[in-house]
Amino acid sequence: MRSLSFRLLCLTIFFVMLSEVLIYTPSIARFRLTYLTEKLDKAHLAALAIDGSPDRVISKELTFELLDHVGAYEIVVTGPDGDVRSLSRPMRPPGEVHVSLHAPMPLELVYDAFDALFQTGNRILRVTGPAPMDPSATVAVTLDEFPLRAVMYDFSWRILTLSVLISVFTAALVFVSLRWLLVRPLQRITGSLVAFRQRPEDRSTDLDDRGRRDEIGVALRELGLMKEEMRAALRQRTRLAALGTAVSKISHDLRNMLATATLISDRLSMSQDPDVQKVTPTLVKAIDRAAALCSTTLNFARETPPLRLSPVRLADLVDDLRQELEAPRGGSVRVLASGAETIELQADRDQMYRVFANIASNAVNAGADLLRIVAHEDGGRAVIDVIDNGPGIPEEGRGRLFQPFQFSSRRDGTGLGLTIARDIAQAHGGTLALERTGADGSTFRLNLPRYTDA
Residue 265 binding: pick among ligand ATP, Mg ion, none (C-beta 5-8 Å cut-off by kind): none
Distance of CA 96 to CAs 125, 143, 144, Å?
A: 5, 9, 9
Closest approach of Mg ion to the CB of residue 407, in Å: 10
Binding segment for Mg ion (CB under 5 A), chosen from 149-157, 294-302, 354-362, 440-448, is 354-362
H/E segment holding residue 51? helix 4-52
Q: Compute the C-alpha angle 358/361/367, nearest 5°.
A: 145
Closest by CA to 366, choosing from 428, 437, 305, 303, is 437
419 forms part of the interface with Mg ion (CB under 5 A):
no
Closest by CA to 178, choosing from 313, 360, 323, 12, is 12
Q: Residue from 185, 390, 417, 430 that binds Mg ion (CB under 5 A)? A: 417
Our CA dihedral for 395, 401, 404, 410, rounded to 10 degrees, sits at 60
416 forms part of the interface with ligand ATP (CB under 6 A):
yes
Closest approach of ligand ATP to the CB of residue 389, in Å: 10
CA 120/CA 434 separation, integer angstroms: 82
CA 62/CA 54 separation, integer angstroms: 14
Closest approach of ligand ATP to the CB of residue 300, in Å: 9
> For ligand ATP, which is the closer residue by CB, 351 or 442?
442
Closest by CA to 338, choosing from 356, 315, 317, is 315
Closest approach of ligand ATP to the CB of residue 383, in Å: 18
> For ligand ATP, which is the closer residue by CB, 48 or 301?
301
> For ligand ATP, which is the closer residue by CB, 303 or 395?
395
Q: Residue from 415, 423, 430, 446 that binds ligand ATP (CB under 6 A)? A: 415
- Residues, the chain, total? 454
> For Mg ion, which is the closer residue by CB, 189 or 301?
301
Q: Is 271 helix (H, G, I), strand (E, B) or coil?
A: coil
CA 192/CA 203 separation, integer angstroms: 10
Say what angle helices 314-325 and 349-366 make with each other, to 10 degrees: 40
442 forms part of the interface with ligand ATP (CB under 6 A):
yes
Going by their DSSP bridges, the two strands 97-100 and 84-88 should be labelled as unpaired
Residue pair 384/374 in contact by the 8 Å Cβ criterion: yes
Residue pair 429/377 in contact by the 8 Å Cβ criterion: no
Size, binding site for ligand ATP by CB under 6 A? 22
Closest approach of ligand ATP to the CB of residue 372, in Å: 12
Residue 442 binding: pick among Mg ion, ligand ATP, none (C-beta 5-8 Å cut-off by kind): ligand ATP
Residue 430 binding: pick among Mg ion, ligand ATP, none (C-beta 5-8 Å cut-off by kind): none
Binding segment for ligand ATP (CB under 6 A), chosen from 95-103, 110-118, 232-240, 406-414, is 406-414
Closest approach of ligand ATP to the CB of residue 434, in Å: 8
Residue 363 binding: pick among Mg ion, ligand ATP, none (C-beta 5-8 Å cut-off by kind): ligand ATP
Interactions with ligand ATP, residue window 3-32 (CB under 6 A): none
Binding segment for ligand ATP (CB under 6 A), chosen from 212-220, 251-259, 268-276, 404-412, is 404-412
Q: Residue from 78, 138, 362, 442 that binds Mg ion (CB under 5 A)? A: 362
Q: Residue from 187, 248, 408, 447 that binds ligand ATP (CB under 6 A)? A: 408
Q: Is 326 helix (H, G, I), strand (E, B) or coil?
A: coil
442 forms part of the interface with Mg ion (CB under 5 A):
no
> For ligand ATP, which is the closer residue by CB, 136 or 426?
426
CA 225/CA 216 separation, integer angstroms: 14
Residue 207 sits at φ, ψ, to 5 deg, of -105, 150
129 forms part of the interface with Mg ion (CB under 5 A):
no
Burial (0-12, 13-18, 19+ Cβ within 10 Å), 274 = exposed
Residue 217 binding: pick among ligand ATP, Mg ion, none (C-beta 5-8 Å cut-off by kind): none
Q: Residue from 239, 252, 329, 410 that binds ligand ATP (CB under 6 A)? A: 410
Interactions with ligand ATP, residue window 330-389 (CB under 6 A): 358, 362-363, 366, 388
> For ligand ATP, which is the closer residue by CB, 313 or 322?
322
Residue 410 binding: pick among Mg ion, ligand ATP, none (C-beta 5-8 Å cut-off by kind): ligand ATP
414 forms part of the interface with ligand ATP (CB under 6 A):
yes
Percent of the chain that is helix, strand, coil (3-state, to 5): 55, 20, 25
Q: Which amino acid belongs to residue 223?
A: L
Burial (0-12, 13-18, 19+ Cβ within 10 Å), 302 = exposed
**Which positions lie near ligand ATP, rule CB under 6 A?**
358, 362-363, 366, 388, 390, 392-394, 397, 401, 407-410, 413-418, 442
**Which positions lie near Mg ion, rule CB under 5 A?**
362, 417
